[in-house]
Amino acid sequence: MIRKIKILTIAFAMVMVVPLAARANGLPVFTELAATAGKAVAFISTEKTATGDPGRQFRQQVPEGHPFREFFEQFDQFFGQQGQQPRIQRGQGSGFIISSDGLIVTNNHVIDGADKVTVKFQDDKKEYVAEVVGADKETDLAVIRIKADHPLPTLKFGDSDALQVGEWVVAIGNPYGLDNTVTAGIISAKHRIIGAGPFDNFLQTDASINPGNSGGPLLNMQGEVIGINTAINAAAENIGFAIPSSQAANVIDQLKQGKTPQRGWLGVTIQRVSETQAKALGLPEPTGALVASVGKGHPADKGGVKQGDVILQVNGKKVDDNNDLLKKIAGLAPGDKANLVLWRNGKRVKKTVILGQRGDKTLASMIPNGKDKLATDTVLGMELSPITEQEAQALGLEKAYGLLVVSVDQTTPAGKEGIRQGDVIVQANQQDVNSVDELKGVIERDKKRGAVMLLIKRQGQNSFVALPLDK
């Protein structure tokens, strides 16, 4: 089994140190590594009971009047009840043993929702029934356990941070049910963000990975697990992704104890800082994470973080962008102190936040609704007017404030940046603006920056848009 995202998935592992691969004619030979590490690779099969009619969605897409429409309706009439009968869905994946008593690492998507999980090994004809010890959807990791009557071979984790692009790696898994398949390649890139989840930080490899490799180990030349194969680019050839061992190890330590992973929580929504926004904010470079909103009563709110702040550092470590901030905060535990360095009104400000617990409830509490929703982009070249009480009511505003965008010249920066008719400009460079004169005053005051950053409300949502200013 492998997950599709625009990409498919595979997985991760721990490794038993084996001798360095031999070299022939300057090229590595993987025979010893494959033979040794392969003994600890698990081939996972799953069964899930499903109900419902798998063809109903397709039939509903057939338009009225189409010759097949009547056929499908008659089919439903006579055979529809049969389509509702329970049926077995089967899947496959990979994993690897991390303890001799039977703990196995795999991907969450391999075992998610399964009624039965079974495991086989390369040199063992026996089939083992596994139980799920713990799983984490956000990192797509899981730990399962089998009971064997003898100690099992294991793999150990290596240091994925020490990997360099161009190093040889080996993947072992169960692609398309072809167990004990060994492929080799190199590390093509590190720190890839592919949209698979909130903690994207993948290793990219050209070692052949296919559906069924999910959860299997990506090994360095010492036979150590430096990645868990998790995804592939379905539109490309030999572009695979693995969760780095350095990121997975802490999560797996918690999962194998049956614990839910504990992650820090700020309670803010954030976005990347663009070059134009950096100019508008007076930042020397586009770095850090821009705070688009702060959840009322959440840790950041209690710690004094404000909308429009840029978070530059966490506990003395530089924040590169919004993704980097998310990883740094999630890497801390609930109750930990996060000493933040913020950029506010052209100055560095220090704040300390006591982190909360990241989880489904806290995430749901930040989903925008009504007047607190967040929005997308906006820009200059606009016809503006103060908002009337009627307009404020129609736009869902609590009161008449800000400037209404009456029209936008699409040839100007505002139009090109996506500002629309009906948008409301609430702030300019973090100062409230309720008249055209106030907006002009902010632009005149800060024109040396070369840009102005607007806080725009659209359909109840907030978003920052930076517009360049003519010198």
List, by residue number, the catalytic residues: 109, 140, 214
How is 23-78 classified by DSSP, letter by letter? EETTEEE-HHHHHHHHTTEEEEEEEEEE-S-TTHHHHHTSPTT-HHHHHHHHHHHH
Q: What is the DSSP letter of 329?
A: H
The helices-and-strands tally (H runs, E runs) of the chain is 12, 30
Amino acid 395 reads L
Helix (H/G/I), strand (E/B), else coil: 309: coil
d(CA 360, CA 357): 10
Amino acid 315 reads N
Count CA within 13 A, CB hemisphere, residue 203.
40
| Residue 257 exposed, middle or buried by CB count within 10 Å (0-12, 13-18, 19+) | exposed
- What is the distance of C-alpha 14 from the center of its chain? 23
Contact 245, 229 (CB under 8 A): no
Task: Give me Rg for the CA atoms of the chain.
Answer: 27
- What is the distance of C-alpha 13 from the center of its chain? 20
Query: Which residues make Cβ contacts (< 8 Å) with residue 347, sequence separation at least 6?
Result: none
Encoded tokens for 105: 């690492």
d(CA 254, CA 48): 26
d(CA 157, CA 143): 15
Encoded tokens for 347: 């100055």
- What is the distance of C-alpha 146 from the center of its chain? 30
Query: Which residues make Cβ contacts (< 8 Å) with residue 412, sequence separation at least 6?
Result: 379, 380, 381, 382
Amino acid 58 reads F
**First-to-final CA distance of the chain:** 57
| Residue 61 exposed, middle or buried by CB count within 10 Å (0-12, 13-18, 19+) | exposed
Maximum distance among all Cα pairs of the chain, rounded to whole angstroms: 81
b/e sequence 138-152, b meaning 16+ C-beta within 10 Å? bbbbbbbbbeeeeeb
d(CA 223, CA 218): 9
